[in-house]
Amino acid sequence: MPLISPEYAIQLLKELTEGCPVPAAPAGLSRYAFQTSDHVLIGDVAVRGYKHKNRWRLDERDIRKAGGRLASLAIDLDDRVDARPTPADLERTWRIQIMNWFAHVAYEDQTVNGCHCEGQQPCDRTRPNQHGLGCGATWEQVEARYGQHAIASTRPLPLLTWSGTIWTVPRAYAALLDRADQIAAQSTKQAARCSRCGATGDIWEWRSSGTAGYTTLCPSCTSAAARPYKGHLRGRLYKSLPKNSQPDAFLCVLCPSQRQAMYWDHCHEHGFVRGPVCASCNTFEGGGYQFINRPGAVQHLLECNGCRRGRTVPPRHQPDVLLRTFVFNPHGSCREQPRYPLGAVEDDRSVRFRLQCWHHTPAHQWEQIVPASLVRRLVREFVDKILTSDADAPDQDSA
C-alpha cells in the first residue's frame, strides 16, 4: 500500500485538480479530520486515514482516484439550484453550513457597526439585504472570513450566486455535496459503533486515539481492555520510566466516562508522572485554557510532587486560576466586569490579560497586568484551598 503524508497528498490533489471548475481545498487532511470518522471527504469520495509510526498517512491510490473524479466533474454554470436549506436538512448539511457562515458574518458586522435597518432595532438579521446577506453584511466580508473554508475539500463560495431573491449553486456541484453529506453521515454512524461488540453510543465519549488510529469502545469493552490506575507511579520521574511502560493498559484518569489511556501525563516543570490520560485529555491539559475547570483537574495537576510541595500549578494554568480570584478594572465608568478575558504568562511570570467590555462594542479593549508576586500568592491560596478541602473530604474507600 503506497502510503503518503498529508502534506504530499495536498500537493498531489492540487496538481490533479488544477483548472478544475470546482475549486479544490484539500488543506483539511490533518489528524483532526479522523476524530469523528475513519475517512476524510474529497468531493464525494471517502479517503481512509492510516496511522503509521504515530503519524497519519493516506493511500496515494485513493488520493489519485478522488482528485481525478473531482477534476472530471462536469459543471454547467447556467444550470443552477437553490442553495438554501430545506425543512428536511439536518444540522450538518452543506446548505446549513453555508448559511451559518452568512449568519455569523452578519452578526459580527452588526456587533461592531450596529444596525442601520429601518424599524425594530436591532434587526434579527434574517431579511436579506442587497448582497443577499443579513443586516449590513457584505460579500467582501464573507470572502475575507470564509473564502478559504472548505466543504468536502472544495471551496463553495466561488460557485455561489445571489439571484436577487435566493442563493444558487450549479446543480452538479449541489449533487456532489449532497452525496458527500450522505457519505459523511454513514461514516460517522459507523465510527460511533464499538469496534468489539458493535453497540452504538456517543462518539465523543467512546472514541479515543491510539497508536494505530482512533478506536471506538463502549464502557464495557473498555473495562475489559484496561484497568483503573491506582497511583503506583506517584513520585516517579517521567524520564525514569522504561520504554515499554504501557499507559494503554489503564483507563484515563481524567475522563468522566471510561476511556483507554494513551500517554503518561507528566509535569513539564518538575518532571513527575501524574497519571495515564487519553489523547484528548493530554491535548486539553497541554493547551492550558480552561483545563482547571474540569472536575478533578487541579487534583490531577497536584499529583506532581513538585507542584504539591510548591503549592502551585504549571504556568499555563495560572491565568485560569486568576480568573477565579482576581478582580479586574472595569472599562471607564462601566460597572460591569469585563467578560472572557484572555491571559498570557509573560517571561517574568506575570500574567497579561486582554480585556473587552461587552456592554459596549468589541472595539473597547484594554490590557491589565497581574504582577508575578501577586500571581504566586493568589495561586498558592487557591491550591491551599483545594488541598484543605481534599483533606477534609471523607475517604470514599473507607465510607
DSSP 102-117: HHHHHHHHHHHH----
Which pLDDT belongs to residue 399?
43
Looking at residue 267, the DSSP 8-state letter turns out to be -
> Quick one: which of 321, 362, 356 has its CA closest to 339?
356
**What confidence score (pLDDT) does residue 341 get?**
79
The β-bridge relationship of strands 365-370 and 45-52 is unpaired
Indicate the burial class of 278 (C-beta count within 10 angstroms; 0-12, 13-18, 19 or more).
buried
Q: Where are the domains of the chain?
A: 1-95+144-191, 203-310, 315-373
pLDDT grade, residue 398 (50/70/90)? very low
**CA Rg value for the chain:** 26
Share above pLDDT 70 across residues of the chain, in percent, rounded to a whole number: 93
Report the range out of 4-13, 73-82, 198-207, 386-395 with the highest average pLDDT. 73-82
Task: Among 228-232, 254-258, 316-320, 390-394, name the one with the lowest average pLDDT.
Answer: 390-394
Mean pLDDT of all residues in the chain? 89
> What is the edge-to-edge ordering of all strands in the sheet holding 342-345?
342-345, 351-356, 365-370
Helix, strand, or coil (residue 167): strand
The answer to whether 153 touches 6, Cβ cutoff 8 Å, is no
Q: Which secondary structure element, helix H or strand E, spans residue 365, and what is its range? A: strand 365-370
Q: What is the total residue count of the chain? A: 399
Backbone angles phi, psi at 22, to 5 degrees: -95, 115
pLDDT at 335 over 70: no
* C-alpha count within 13 angstroms, C-beta hemisphere, residue 110: 18
Residues sharing a CB contact under 8 Å with residue 244, sequence separation 6 or more, in sequence order: none
Q: Is the pLDDT of residue 13 over 50?
A: yes
If one compares 112 and 301, the residue with the highest pLDDT of the two is: 301
Report the sign of the C-alpha dihedral through residues 106, 111, 151, 200, in that order. Answer: negative
Mean pLDDT calculated for residue range 237-265 = 91
Statement: residue 182 has pLDDT above 80: yes
Which has the minimum average pLDDT: 132-141, 204-213, 217-226? 204-213
Residue 205 has pLDDT above 80, yes or no: yes
Q: Is the dihedral of CA 315, 319, 322, 324 positive or negative?
A: negative
Looking at residue 359, what is its pLDDT? Answer: 61
Backbone angles phi, psi at 139, to 5 degrees: -65, -30
- Burial group, residue 164, by CB count within 10 angstroms (0-12, 13-18, 19+): exposed
